[in-house]
Structure 1
Amino acid sequence: MNVSIVIPVYNVENYLARCLDSCISQTMKDGVEVICINDGSTDSSPDILKEYEEKYPDFIRVYTIKNDGVSHARNFGVEKASGDYILFADSDDFLEPDVVEKLYTKAMADGSDVVICRYYDVREKSLTGTIIRTESKVYATKYEDNFDINEYKFELT
């Protein structure tokens, strides 16, 4: 597996389908998995997750844990992930169709351990989400045991 998209889910019934649809629409399909961690949702999020997992069993895996916060859910997702790279997305995010392909291609070309890109906060009527824009610069670096993160800062616009 090349890339695992890890998505913590908690009471996001209004945004979840859009997020999952954006994962399904990725141009890079081979070697990609989506790991959804239901963090004890009490709305219809678990039903939406079940529907997508049944429709895309080779692409989407769903785990349910007791509500313990987004950090715990992300860590749980990392434990279940089989990808060489992990892309974190929030359940109200939506991804541009080529973001996984562009980030993975950049990582492979540079032999990078970490690849990051800019994002835009998008607000549409009652929908708030984040769209990851791949036309913007992509930053990549090799991981070293000790490095100054300030060297890798960039400005978000």
Structure 2
Amino acid sequence: MKPATISELKRALAPLSHDELLDACVRLAKFKVDNKLLLTYLTLKSGDEAGYVDEVCADIDEELPARGMIHKKTLRRIIRMMEKCIRFSGDKETELQIRIHFCCQISERGLQWGRCRVSENMYLAQRKKIEKALEKVHPDLQYDFRQQMQGLHRA
């Protein structure tokens, strides 16, 4: 079975009653954790974007080691979680806050990759994504975010 397009799904959902939509959403949430996370964001977190950013940053802080070496598996897991949270929000400011926080934490904690070029490249990819996202926000915000990035000359 091939999945329907977004426009087809939109047309199919439009005539449904409130109860039918509610049932469909709950049933969708039961199938995959990602669906449940997205539904949680949309219903509970989207009204308080600052709180959402703080929560994601706290999760990043918990996952990162306090000091020393960082393994590429740990780094991949954190980046995957970050990407998911950023995709749920869809807001460039939120994206920048989360990515900058991640890079600042790596820098502040003095985490090292050792000889692992893959880990270093993952970090550099985050820096590139920050630069790309900076181009899409208001110039005043660009200045503020660039100030936060002052200490990130590592790697």
TM-score, scaled to structure 2:
0.30
The structure in which a higher percent of residues are strand is 1
- Which structure has more relative contact order (CA 8 Å, sep 6+)? It is 1
The structure in which a higher percent of residues are helix is 2
